[in-house]
Amino acid sequence: MHNQHLFMSRALIMSLWLITQAMLPAQAQQPSSPVAPFGFALGSATRQSVLETLKGKTTVTADGTNRYSGGPMYTAPGGNLGIEDLVEATFIFDSNDRLVSVVLTFPKGGLDRNFGRLYEHLNNKYRLAQKKVPFVGDKYARYEEGPSIIELTSRHLGFSIEITYMTTGFEQAYNRITREQAAAKKKREGEKF
């Protein structure tokens, strides 16, 4: 009787474990909520809704057409946007007026103080995919959240820190155009020899 009870207990535990394992992939595939700096969801917020919301908080300046997205860009001073030490926010839209990137600029602060603070905030909210945070040198962290990417960058010899929120489509266009420009520059230089 004892052996039969032990066998049934083990069978029950094994069944529960198998059910739990079967459920894990389904949970992992659930879409995450969209990345939404200032409440503006990347890939779906419209230019009109972003500008109307910002109008009551800060001044917004048209900043031309973005070479990677083909859409308009707008810049706003960061003082009234509710984030400590934010100097400037740039909002980049695609040719369909959908928000595809937001770039936030901060001063480094003494001993790169702001990097640690911003890194901690992002770590608490997004999934860290890559990091390079040496004591001296360029600092970088990359977060991936569904169809969005967040990059935190601080150049060693620079004076500012940037957080770039972008859709994967914007990143792909950026990488493609950057490669094309580098290849064209190399070709032009090679023709001069």
Model pLDDT for residues 32-75, shown as the tens digit of each residue: 567 989 999 999 999 999 999 998 889 999 999 999 999 999 99
- What pLDDT is recorded for position 81? 92
Question: Has residue 13 been placed in a domain?
Answer: no
Question: Has residue 146 been placed in a domain?
Answer: yes
* pLDDT above 60: residue 2: no
41's CB contacts (< 8 A; 6+ apart) are: 34, 35, 99
| pTM recorded for the entire structure | 0.77
99's CB contacts (< 8 A; 6+ apart) are: 40, 41, 42, 43, 44, 45, 46, 47, 50, 91, 92, 93
Question: Has residue 75 been placed in a domain?
Answer: yes
- What pLDDT is recorded for position 136? 85
Give the Cα separation of 93 and 96 in Å (integer). Answer: 8
Question: Has residue 126 been placed in a domain?
Answer: yes
Q: Which range of residues forms the domain containing residue 64? A: 37-191
Closest among 76, 74, 114 to 92, alpha carbons compared: 74
Question: Has residue 72 been placed in a domain?
Answer: yes
**Residue 29 to residues 132, 160, 193, Cα–Cα distance (Å):** 28, 37, 54
Backbone angles phi, psi at 166, to 5 degrees: -155, 155
Question: Has residue 27 been placed in a domain?
Answer: no
Question: Has residue 8 been placed in a domain?
Answer: no
- What pLDDT is recorded for position 111? 59
Question: Has residue 5 been placed in a domain?
Answer: no
Arithmetic mean of pLDDT, 18-38? 53
Number of separate domains in the chain: 1
* Residue of higher predicted confidence among 6 and 40: 40
- Confidence grade of residue 91 (pLDDT, cut at 50, 70, 90): very high
49's CB contacts (< 8 A; 6+ apart) are: 40
- Confidence grade of residue 14 (pLDDT, cut at 50, 70, 90): very low
113-141 pLDDT, tens digit each: 788 889 999 999 999 999 988 888 889 99
Question: Quick one: 51 exposed, middle or buried, by C-beta within 10 A (0-12, 13-18, 19+)?
Answer: middle
**Average model confidence (pLDDT) across the chain:** 83
Question: Are 161 and 113 spatial neighbours (Cβ–Cβ below 8 Å)?
Answer: no
Which H or E element spans position 88? strand 88-94
- What pLDDT is recorded for position 170? 93
**Residue 61 to residues 75, 88, 91, 115, Cα–Cα distance (Å):** 5, 11, 10, 27
